């Protein structure tokens, strides 16, 4: 049986993110406010090298951010390839609420941010990211690595006690990506999808492999057809494995909840975990994986 309210988010930084989301939900009663506040925590986490302006840069040494937000009535907003913005998730929310559009990218997103009063940060790598980038520059090898360090985007999905759903996803993307590369996280249906009639899903891992199968949309549609969240995540991982070459070097992980408050999580390789917050507490769960 499921639980409401419920907040689920990727990786162990999901624990503090869920904590902030839960507090916000209690304060305002809005699941949208909750999923925004939750990942804002991660966007400021200096230990995290895959989310926020402290994240690892692209090949040129520039950090560019992707984020998306969605509610179960079909409202959504996203930003991609954005520089100098500390909270891309809030910018994505502003796109959703204040423009007739779903997605703004690059310079246009930055101009919109300025118009909305978002402060522009100085363009400078965090000390940790600078050290890693300097090491990488020695060989400049472009090779996606499947370790946790290189894959800790935060995706968060939540359900309130009235059955309303919302989700958020924010990342600095793949380390040392080509300048201009956009991943799955700001693509509605790939990194995030939410439908109040069914449930919600979010993704982490190699964005290209996730976009290729419209993963989050796929998971929600599988649940619509009667799969549990766990079955839907496992089926989507099988699809991803079938449609991507070089799967030994690709990590991806999915999370799902349905509107009854049941949850699922699954990944390609071992090592993916997620944080689950309910009235009972906020716990870290190891997800299963296709390869053992
Ligand atoms: C991307 N999915 O840009 C993101 C990266 C990621 O943990 O998940 N990192 O491809």
Q: Is the CB of 153 under 6 A from ligand 1?
A: yes
Name the band, by pLDDT with cuts 50, 70 and 90, for residue 140.
confident
Structure tokens at 129: 């990211």
The closest-lying atom of ligand 1 relative to the alpha carbon of residue 207 is 10
pLDDT given at position 138: 85
> Would the pLDDT of 283 be above 80?
yes
Q: Is the CB of 151 under 6 A from ligand 1?
A: yes
- 78, 67 Cβ separation under 8 angstroms: yes
> Would the pLDDT of 149 be above 90?
no
Query: 122: CA distance to ligand 1 center in Å?
Result: 24
> Under DSSP, is residue 84 helix (H, G, I), strand (E, B) or coil?
coil
Q: What is the tens place of the pLDDT at every residue in 166-225?
A: 999 999 999 999 999 999 999 999 999 999 999 999 999 999 999 999 999 999 999 999
> Would the pLDDT of 155 be above 60?
yes
Q: Is the CB of 77 under 6 A from ligand 1?
A: no
CA-closest residue to ligand 1 atom 9: 151
> Would the pLDDT of 95 be above 90?
yes
Angle formed at CA 87 by CA 83 and CA 91, multiple of 5 degrees = 80
- Spot the catalytic one: 10, 64, 153, 170: 153
Say how far residue 194 (Cα) sits from the centre of its chain: 13
pLDDT given at position 148: 43
Q: Is the CB of 48 under 6 A from ligand 1?
A: no
Query: 162: CA distance to ligand 1 center in Å?
Result: 31
> Would the pLDDT of 150 be above 80?
no
Q: Is the CB of 184 under 6 A from ligand 1?
A: yes
pLDDT given at position 2: 85
Q: What is the ipTM of this complex?
A: 0.97
Q: Is the CB of 183 under 6 A from ligand 1?
A: yes
Q: Is the CB of 158 under 6 A from ligand 1?
A: no
pLDDT given at position 48: 87
Query: 37: CA distance to ligand 1 center in Å?
Result: 20
CA-closest residue to ligand 1 atom 5: 173
pTM for the model stands at: 0.96
> Would the pLDDT of 16 be above 80?
yes
Name the band, by pLDDT with cuts 50, 70 and 90, for residue 151.
low
List residues forming the annotated binding site for substrate: 181-184, 204-207
- 177, 58 Cβ separation under 8 angstroms: yes
Query: 161: CA distance to ligand 1 center in Å?
Result: 30
- The angle that helices 31-43 and 88-98 make with each other, rounded to 10 degrees, is 150
Percent above pLDDT 90 for the chain = 89
Cβ neighbours for 186, distance < 8 A, ≥ 6 positions apart? 66, 67, 68, 78, 79, 80, 92, 103, 169
Active site residue 153: yes
Q: What is the tens place of the pLDDT at every residue in 42-84?
A: 999 988 889 999 999 999 999 999 999 999 999 999 999 999 9
The chain-wide mean pLDDT, for the chain, equals 94
List residues forming the annotated binding site: 181-184, 204-207
pLDDT given at position 136: 87
The closest-lying atom of ligand 1 relative to the alpha carbon of residue 11 is 7
| CA atoms of 255 and 265, how far apart (whole Å) | 4
Query: 192: CA distance to ligand 1 center in Å?
Result: 12
């Amino acid at each position: 049986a499921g639980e409401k309210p419920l907040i689920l988010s990727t990786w162990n930084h999901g624990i503090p993110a869920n904590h902030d989301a839960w507090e916000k939900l209690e304060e305002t009663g809005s699941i949208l406010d909750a999923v925004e506040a939750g990942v804002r925590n991660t966007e400021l986490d200096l230990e995290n090298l895959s989310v926020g302006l402290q994240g690892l840069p692209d090949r040129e040494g520039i950090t560019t951010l992707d984020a998306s937000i969605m509610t179960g009535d079909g409202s959504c907003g996203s930003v991609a390839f954005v520089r100098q913005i500390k909270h891309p998730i809030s910018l994505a929310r502003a796109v959703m609420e204040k423009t007739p559009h779903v997605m703004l990218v690059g310079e246009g997103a930055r101009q919109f941010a300025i118009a909305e009063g978002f402060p522009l940060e100085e363009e400078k790598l965090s000390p940790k990211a600078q050290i890693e980038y300097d090491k990488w520059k020695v060989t400049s090898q472009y090779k996606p690595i499947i370790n946790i360090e290189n894959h800790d985007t935060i995706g968060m999905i939540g359900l309130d006690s009235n059955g309303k759903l919302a989700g958020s996803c924010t990342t600095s993307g793949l380390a040392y990506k080509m300048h201009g590369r956009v991943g799955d996280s700001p693509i509605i249906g790939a990194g995030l999808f939410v439908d109040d009639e069914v449930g919600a899903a979010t993704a982490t891992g190699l964005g290209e492999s996730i976009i290729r199968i419209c993963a989050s949309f796929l998971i929600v549609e599988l649940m619509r057809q009667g799969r549990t969240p766990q079955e839907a995540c496992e089926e989507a991982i099988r699809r991803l494995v079938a449609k991507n070459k070089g799967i030994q070097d690709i990590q991806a992980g999915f999370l799902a909840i349905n509107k009854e408050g049941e949850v699922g999580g699954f990944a390609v390789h071992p090592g993916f975990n997620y944080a689950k917050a309910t009235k009972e507490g906020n716990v870290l769960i190891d997800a299963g994986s296709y390869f053992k």
